[in-house]
Structure 1
Amino acid sequence: MIAAYGTDHGNHEGQHRMTIWEMLAVFAAGIGAGTINTIVGSGTLITFPVLLATGLPPVTANVSNTLGLVPGSISGAIGYRHELRGQRSRIVRLGLTALVGGLIGAVLLLVLPSSAFDTIVPVLIGLALVLVVLQPKLSAALTRRREQNGDSTAGPHPDGGPALLVGLLLASIYGGYFGAAQGVLYLSLMGLLLHDTLQRINGVKNILGAVVNGVAAVFFLFVAEFDWTAVALIAVGSALGGQLGARIGRRLPPTALRAVIVVVGLIAITQLLLA
């Protein structure tokens, strides 16, 4: 994880200069992150270590990464535009929740040490993966219970209800703070509490990711240093990766998509525990 920002502010590029090979590595990492973010999430676990390897300080690397991944999130959402049809009211409601959470998380980064999240994050991701795997059975069990209780709707709340809003708010706070595997948390929550296909839920996840990254990026512009070269390389790479990820992700059947989510989530947990 990373340290809190402290009081040194600014938005200029420091004395760091990348070699051509480092620039190519950052660009490639941006493509990879944009691709995996659109399909599942956790792209930060690709770009962040690469930026550190080029010599950027952790704070600058994290802020530059957040800024650079915004175009990738938007690109991925555009790639899922077909799955997003008919979900406008849901997107507005959940998007506003994500906006508030992302801003809170960005502010918390200024006042909390990274150790506050180091222990709990792998646990959260692990629980999310369990929910992703068990989601079909859990949803079926919830439906049976509602039917037995005489609930005529006999299914999850169309927009997830208060439980989803609270869960997404907390996940978005984490996303604004650091964000590794944030998409896994979103998919597990919406998969359990929304009555919809995993692909349509994935489309909403990309919108929420764009909102959280966007609000955190705007906030960071005013309070932290960033490297424009890294931002530009990741921005272009992640935008390309977002389109690639949409093409791949939209073709995956639900079982395969769940398998990808679990694999990526396990890798995320491993990296976070070894960091």
Structure 2
Amino acid sequence: MQYDRVIHLALLLPIWFETVHGRYGFILALCRVLNSLQNVEFIYSLNYDKTELLRFNSTENKVVAYTEYAMKWADDFNKKPEWLHKEAEKIIAHCKRYGQLFLPEVEKTVKPEVIVRTVRQASGKIPAMLICSAYDFYPKPIKLTWMRDDKEMTADVTSTEELADGDWYYQIHSHLEYFPKPGEKISCVVQHASSNKPMIYDLGPSLSESDRNKLITGAAGLVLGLIMAVGGLIYCKRKHTALIISAGSQQLACSEPLQTPSNAEE
């Protein structure tokens, strides 16, 4: 599965200029990498007083004006397409050399952490709801698919867009509503640039509300039984120790010689 990646490889330092009346402008030169350093796009933008006046894109090799004031400039530039192409190629060559330093980062991919879980059990006419969540992946493009016994499910499936975490990573969530059948297998299939084959995550067996309550009650009873057993062992241990001490004291008392009147006189 091929994905198109757009990475801002080199953001050249903008050139700021300001008038005595507080108005300002800047020139922005930007290199963008499309999938690899063999496909680099150069964009030049002239902005003044919060308005973009014109923009050059090396892919189109054309200058576009966004205000009436800048139309004459754009027309003059567009009359020299060969010169525009030559100048853009010079800058792109610099971007490629600069980008070699960051090639590992450009090619970097991070495998998503995927969780498949039940968020609502089926009840009567209300279907069950599952959610497949993929966290902390890079780059952005990703595809989540639901499978039921190895057959793709397309009905009653809703997904969010790729959501930016704010730290270069992304997350996405897909929901599935369905009525479960005994013995079936539900899977979430994740396709991403970090893996050369689809990643399949099966939904584990889920418990009904009554079964969950029984499990909790049984676990609580087991814990209580263990506490009582440990308490009984401690009690027996202490009682046994006290009996040994008591028996030793009695034996010591019995081993002393009997006092007789003759012995007392002596």
TM-score range (shorter-chain normalised) is under 0.3
What TM-score comes out, normalization by structure 2 length? 0.20
Q: Which has the higher strand share?
A: 2
Q: Which has the higher helix share?
A: 1
Q: Which has the higher contact order (CA 8 A, sep 6+)?
A: 1
What TM-score comes out, normalization by structure 1 length? 0.19
Larger radius of gyration, structure 1 or 2?
2
